[in-house]
Structure 1
Amino acid sequence: MPAPFTFVRLQYHSGDWDGVDERMPTNLLHSLIQYTKVPVTSKEKVVALDSPELFNYPFCYLSGHRLVQFSAQEKKNFTQYVRNGGFVFVDDCNHDIDGLFARSFEEQMRQCFGAGALKKIPKTHPVYSSFFTFKDGPPPTSFELNGWGDDLVHDYLKGIEINGRLGVLYSNKDYGCEWDYDFRNKRFLAEDNTKFGVNILIYALTA
């Protein structure tokens, strides 16, 4: 039997990693149970980015609103984790491509992987068809449609590929807050908006 999937949230020394989307992991784990046969651990696990424990898990989530400035060990671990085949989903809770989180995180990626490593990914990328199909690329969030943040609907996500595989998936769409609700309330939605979250997790586990 495969080991149960664990939703890992990354703790980093700067910013506000622990002040965002507290219910989102449970919501996505419920969706995995609902739609797939992937065994899961029922609660998220917080792992420090500068800890060697990071390398025990295939998927990690990093988010926040504020400055992202990795320590030397955090930078080393992040780079090695991705180059070794790990997957990090990064979500900008500001929904603002010119905001502090976005500018500082993108600078960290430049320092870790080089200028130009973080690129827009095409709508034909396998992450949009790894389980459910999203022909138009990343689905919009209510925060975009309601004019939150930079008041733009971003029709793309960015990523860093290592040897043809996506190792970092980066969103300015604020999916974390979009999915931050009690999973029992999904029954009131016309369409389950966590389905793209399932795609992200399945891609991370199978690509």
Structure 2
Amino acid sequence: MHIPSLKLCFILLASGFTLVLGDLTTIREALVASVSMIEDVETDALIAPIAELSSPKTPVQYWRRGGRRTPARYPDPKAPIDSSFVFARIQYTSVRGEPLGTGWTTDYPEGDVNFMRRFEEFTTSPISWDGSYPNHVVVTLYNEELFKYPFIFMSDVGTVGLDNVEVERLREYLLRGGFLWVDDFWGWQAWDQWRFEIGRVLSPSQYPILDVPVDHPIRQMLYSIDEIPQIPSIQWYRRSGGYTTSERGSESATPHLRSISDENGRIMVLMSHNTDIADGWERENEDFDFFSRFSFPAYAVGINVVLYASSH
């Protein structure tokens, strides 16, 4: 497993994850309490900085105020190119509906904002700031600003429909070195919809969809992702009383991490299917049980993905 240059390392075994925590100058005494997903692990092993997640930071809660949604935060075309990490979300048109989904706005904006804050907190990589606010953006595939962002994200892609221009633009973006992560689509109907659309972008005969093996670098960047976590929406979690994480029953019982790579083996498209990784970011301040069970693995996966995208 790749371990960056560290002053101090601690290993946390938690629900299939080996988290390698580094760049510590002191050992903070705060320990994670009431973490239901961890069994048979001594609490002394739960050492900061991941322990800071035991006190969720208050995110900017402005997704719905007065029944209205926050407007999309588009980039300023006159702004200088920032080499720091920017979370760029793709705005697209939905052509079908999925239960509990809201198309491209799913998990927006708190998921994007919270992830950026945690990414800077738990890595040495800087993020882009707009004053005191994490500089996340929404772009369309038509937008020339698209090529400023080496990492783009799409949610609820079982509803997406791309026109011919969007297909060409996304293909160009990916083949020029861009990285796309799609998340939060459940069951076979959503999978078939996405597989059809991405197949128009990248021919499956040349660029097949494959499962990401456990020893792939993307699963071993900073955290060892031995198992893909199944993270439900918080609505599903509450409705089910926390007893099940599969939003489509037996049809979505197994979470998958799949990818499409270029001729050199670089992942261009990453797909987290039958799981909602971004809900573990978005909802960290709403429900402590949900937070303590799902936010740890959600951030571990997300940090690995962005570190991979930034270095490949």
Query: Shared fold (TM-score greater than 0.5)?
Result: yes
1:108 maps to what in 2? Answer: 197
* Structure 1, unpaired ranges of 5+: none
* Alpha-carbon distance, 1:164 to partner: 0.8
Structure 1 SS opposite 2:105: coil
* Alpha-carbon distance, 1:78 to partner: 0.8
Q: Normalised by the size of structure 2, how large is the TM-score?
A: 0.59
1:83 maps to what in 2? Answer: 175
Q: 1: CA distance between counterparts of 2:160 and 2:135?
A: 25
Q: Normalised by the size of structure 1, how large is the TM-score?
A: 0.86
Q: Does 1:13 find its partner at 2:100? A: no
Q: What RMSD, in angstroms, separates the aligned Cα atoms of the two structures?
A: 2.5
* Structure 2, unpaired ranges of 5+: 1-81, 96-101, 129-133, 238-243
* Alpha-carbon distance, 1:186 to partner: 7.6
CA-to-partner distance for each residue in 1:58-96, whole Å, 9 max, x for gaps? 000011265322111110111111111100000134x22
Structure 2 SS opposite 1:179: helix
Give the total of aligned pairs: 202
The 5 A counterparts of 1:69-80 are 69-80=161-172
CA contact (8 A) 1:128 1:137 kept: no
CA contact (8 A) 1:79 1:112 kept: yes
* Alpha-carbon distance, 1:138 to partner: 2.0
Amino acid at match of 2:170: F
Compared CA separation, residues 73 and 150, structure 1 to 2 (3 A)? farther
Q: 2: CA distance between counterparts of 1:9 and 1:148?
A: 24
CA-to-partner distance for each residue in 1:78-125, whole Å, 9 max, x for gaps? 1111111100000134x22x12x3221110121221125222221211
Percent identity over paired residues: 24
CA contact (8 A) 2:91 2:139 kept: yes
> Which residue of the other structure, out of 121, 139, 153, is the alignment partner of 1:61?
153
CA contact (8 A) 2:90 2:140 kept: yes
Q: 1: CA distance between counterparts of 2:256 and 2:159?
A: 23
* Alpha-carbon distance, 1:126 to partner: 0.9
Q: 2: CA distance between counterparts of 1:53 and 1:186?
A: 37
> Which residue of the other structure, out of 136, 141, 146, is the alignment partner of 2:231?
141
CA contact (8 A) 1:75 1:112 kept: yes
Bigger radius of gyration: 2
Q: Does 1:47 find its partner at 2:139? A: yes
Q: 1: CA distance between counterparts of 2:302 and 2:114?
A: 10
CA contact (8 A) 2:85 2:126 kept: yes
* Alpha-carbon distance, 1:184 to partner: 9.0
CA contact (8 A) 1:86 1:167 kept: yes
186-195 or 12-21, which moves further after superposition? 186-195
CA contact (8 A) 2:218 2:305 kept: yes
